[in-house]
Every structure is written in structure tokens, then in C-alpha cells.
Structure 1
């Protein structure tokens, strides 16, 4: 029996395109690229530090809307504009996942991003 994905959208964290913030099929939840725009204004802050904080806040909101949390995430795919963003990303990462034996897998790609973005995060979560 085929499983139908359920699109998940979150005000302030959704895309300006016909793309859901995430989709969930059964226990699997996959996000689209989550950015660091301010959920209250929809604007992208100029600095990387604020964008990293907003990205994780937006990610939490998307996961929650799909019935998940950071504890359910098994894989992070991160695109950063510049290696300098790693310092900010790692600080938030370690605050979210302080136990080195209980962290999701993570992969980072350095690539130019559009519209002033410093990073985008996509995750896969297994919701129990």
C-alpha cells in the first residue's frame, strides 16, 4: 500500500515558492532547505551568526509541525557560503548535541548561496 507524503508548512519558515518546508511519510520526515530568515519579518539578517540562530529556530519549528524534534534527526546536510560560518554553526551544534555519542550524522558543503544566505540546512528525521 503506497504511503502518501504529508506536506508541512510553517508560517515564517516556509519558502517563497510552491515547496513545502518538509514532508512526512510514516515515521520519516525530510525537510526542504531551512534558512536563517527571521520568522517574524521574513527578512534575512545580514550577519551569519544571527542566520545560524534563526536557522536552528526555524528547523525546530518545522520539526515540531511534523511531530518531531532535534532528538529525532538522524542526518544533517548543511550548505554554507563560507568556511567562516563553521564556527557559528559548531557552537549551536554543540549546544544542541552536547553528547559526542548521541549526535546525528552531518555533512557540510561550501557553496555560494543566493539572496544573502550564509547557510541552509536539510535534515532527515525518524519519528518514533
Structure 2
């Protein structure tokens, strides 16, 4: 049976006792990742910076597990305003250039913790 390994990522800590990400066997799962600044832990004023930070964390987490962004299989994106999907798409297209080689993704509009506009959950297969 595979052991669960908690992946610790600087700047992406949860308020609750929940790890940011775990690796079990060849699978990586995240909790809800927020776009806090990797150095300060604060949410940026700009939604563009918030989303850029989210994609920074996606890359960092999958690389920490020994993979690459090519191993990301699915993203669940939550936004507080449907317009933020356009901002997510900018980073999405930069990370996943090949339209025939992108992860599955679902975006939904939700109420998020105060101050957040976007959050992401990831599943990767290494």
C-alpha cells in the first residue's frame, strides 16, 4: 500500500490543519490552492497576480513530487466572478501551449473565503 507524503509549499499554507498537497504512489492531489504571494503569503490586489501565483504553485507542487506540468491531469477552478475565467485562461494557455495536450478542467462560480477571487485544485499522475 502506498504511503501518503505531504508536500509543503512555501507561501501556500492553509488556515485549517489541511496539507496543501499530498502524493500517494504516482498520484498528486491538492487541497484548494490560493494565489497568495509566495514570499509574503498575502493575497495580491491584482487578480492577474493572484492567478499567476496559482499557476506558480501548480508548477512548484508537481515538480516537488518529481513531475512536470505535463503530468497534470485535471484542474478544478473556482472563481467568484465568471469574468475571472478569462484571466485564468491567460496563464492556462502559457502553461499548456499545445491544444491537443492539456489537462481536463472545470471552472465554477462560487463564494470563496473573503479576499479570494480564484482558487484551484489539481490532480496529477506522475
* In structure 1, distance between residues paired with 2:106 and 2:71: 17
Deviation of 1:68 after TM superposition, in Å, equals: 2.1
CA deviations on 1:31-65 (whole Å, 9 max, x unpaired) are 11111000100101122111001111122112222
- Which consecutive unaligned segments of at least 5 residues does structure 2 have? none
**Structure 1 segments unaligned to the other structure (5+ residues):** none
Q: Which runs of 4+ in 1 moved over 2 A?
A: none
Judged with a 3 Å threshold, the aligned counterparts in structure 2 of structure 1 residues 103 and 75 are, in CA distance, closer, same or farther, namely: same
Count of aligned pairs between the two proteins: 126
User: Aligned-residue CA RMSD in angstroms?
Assistant: 1.1
Tell me if 1:66 matches 2:70. no
Query: Normalising by the residue count of structure 2, what TM-score does the alignment of the two structures yield?
Result: 0.94
Distance 1:94 1:62 in 2: 19
> Residues 76 and 105 of structure 1 are in contact (CA less than 8 Å); yes or no, is this contact kept in structure 2?
yes
